[in-house]
């Protein structure tokens, strides 16, 4: 009596093909995870840089009008990256001469290096609330 006639299973070749397909799929997923991790880190750095730029803009809005001048500083990030902030201040063209001019243009640039040199810029106009 032969009991193996009605049994079906996988051959060794079919198993090897399945393992090759599985290995290729896992390698693709590993590459995707590396890309996702890198993009997530970049998003965190970009958010931190934008926060530093916004912080400086808020500082400039809070100080007296005559003290709003350009400058630069560095800020350590939470991930160990050092950000360099530079802010340029210029008086916008308007018919009122200083010290009663109404607007100053502020451009804040934040630079950092996470393996690649990166930067963001924000631009704003600050109104002289002391001028009448």
pLDDT in tens, 46-87: 999 999 999 999 999 999 888 999 999 999 998 889 999 999
Per-residue pLDDT band at 1 (split at 50, 70, 90) = low
Q: Is 132 a member of any domain?
A: no
Burial 56-84 (b: 16+ CB within 10 A, else e): bbeebeeeebeebeeeeeebebeeebebb
Query: How high is the pLDDT of residue 88?
Result: 96
Say if residue 129's pLDDT is above 80.
no
Distance (Å, whole) CA 75 – CA 83: 5
Q: Is 2 a member of any domain?
A: no
Q: Is 5 a member of any domain?
A: no
Number of domains the chain is built from: 1
Q: Is 20 a member of any domain?
A: yes
Q: For the whole model, what pTM was predicted?
A: 0.72
Q: Is 6 a member of any domain?
A: no
Phi-psi region of 23 (alpha: psi -120 to 50; beta: other; left: phi over 0): alpha
Q: Is 89 a member of any domain?
A: yes
Alpha-carbon radius of gyration of the chain? 30
Q: Is 122 a member of any domain?
A: yes
Q: Domain range spanning residue 34?
A: 12-127
Burial of 95 (0-12, 13-18, 19+ CB in 10 A): exposed
């Amino acid at each position: 009596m032969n009991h193996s006639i009605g049994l079906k299973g996988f051959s060794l070749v079919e198993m090897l093909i399945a393992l090759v397909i599985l290995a290729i799929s896992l390698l693709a997923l590993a590459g995707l995870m590396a890309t996702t991790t890198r993009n997530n880190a970049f998003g965190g750095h970009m958010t931190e840089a934008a926060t530093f730029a916004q912080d400086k803009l808020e500082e400039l809005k809070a100080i007296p009008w005559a003290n709003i001048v350009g400058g630069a500083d560095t800020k350590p990030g939470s991930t160990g990256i050092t950000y360099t902030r530079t802010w340029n201040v210029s008086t916008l063209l308007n018919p009122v001469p200083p010290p009663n001019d109404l607007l100053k243009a502020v451009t804040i640039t934040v630079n950092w290096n996470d393996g690649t040199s990166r930067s963001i810029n924000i631009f704003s106009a600050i109104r002289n609330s002391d001028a009448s």
